[in-house]
Structure 1
Amino acid sequence: MSSRFDQDPKATGPVVQGFAGRGFSVDGGVYEGLLLTPLSARQWDPPALADLTILHLEELIGLQPPPEFLLLGTGSRFSFAPPKLVRALEERGIGIEAMDSRAAARTWGILRGEERWIAAALMPLD
């Protein structure tokens, strides 16, 4: 199943244009797992959500300046982020917003349209 959605025309950097199978259509490519920064989009092979640590997200939290917060797409269904991950991000002054990956992809476009300096890690859709 494939679907597309409209993005804010002011969004700069990588734009999630829709969904394709288990993944996300971004600027002509399809990624099952996806790391997004205001500057780049990259394939991501995440561990199971319960095993997700800050080490899996170093590329995102190492942005300069650091992101305001991290959007965490937890797959097809919403799940809470692991508490240790939340604490590790908060210790670095980075918030986290967990939601299902489709909602996170849509939120990415809206917030980037507002020129927010954020990062996103989207787990594949099951």
Structure 2
Amino acid sequence: MPLTEIDFSGAAQPIDGYAPGAFRIGGRVLHGAVLVTPMGAGPWAGMGDPAALPAALAGQVDVLFVGTGAAMAPLPTAFRTALEEAGIGVEPMATPAACRTYNICLSEGRRIAAALIPV
């Protein structure tokens, strides 16, 4: 089977790795919860303000992968509803799975983002 090198062209930054309490994204280490989009990565305040994230992502992404930590956990209803009303699909999963899924979809050129709680 031939291997194809993934090209993250433009500003797209893959998630290079994660460790307890931190992520390495595009070669940069970020501590705590993070929001990763093809446009960049930065700190994320979490699910406390349900309207903040949809407002920031509306029209830019189609799906948000939410890494809920070491294990999958349900999302608060207000958080999920706010995203869906903004036209953003939301997929909760354990953070390691969210990182892998984000990178695969990013390599395919999809309009995605990941909101990640550290493991």
| CA contact 2:20–2:118 (8 Å) conserved in 1 | no
| Alignment-mate amino acid for residue 16 of structure 1 | I
2:112 to 96, 101, 118: 118
Paired position in structure 1 for 2:15: 16
2:100 maps to 1:106: yes
| Cα distance change of structure 1 residues 45 and 87 upon mapping to structure 2, 3 Å threshold | closer
Q: Deviations over 1:13-51 (max 9, x none)?
A: 1111112232211122222311111110112243xx5x4
Q: Output the CA distance in 2 between the equivalents of 1:29 and 1:10.
A: 18
Q: What residue identity is the alignment partner of 1:112? A: L
Percent identity between matched residues is 34
Residue 58 of structure 1 deviates from its aligned partner by: 4.6
Give 1:61 deviation, angstroms.
1.7
Q: How far apart are the structure 1 equivalents of 2:104 and 2:56?
A: 19
Report if aligned partners of 1:60, 1:119 keep a CA contact under 8 Å in 2: no
**Structure 2 residue aligned with 1:4:** none
Q: 1:40 & 1:59 partners in 2: Cα distance? A: 16
Runs ≥4 residues deviating over 2 A: 43-46
TM-score, scaled relative to structure 2: 0.81
Q: Which runs of 5+ in 1 are unaligned?
A: 1-7
**1:31-42 aligned within 5 A:** 31=30, 32-42=32-42
Deviates more, 1:25-34 or 1:99-108: 25-34
| 1:26 matched to 2:25 | yes
In structure 2, what is the Cα distance between the partners aligned to 1:115 and 1:9? 11
Separation in structure 2 between the aligned mates of residue 52 and residue 71 of structure 1, nearest angstrom: 17
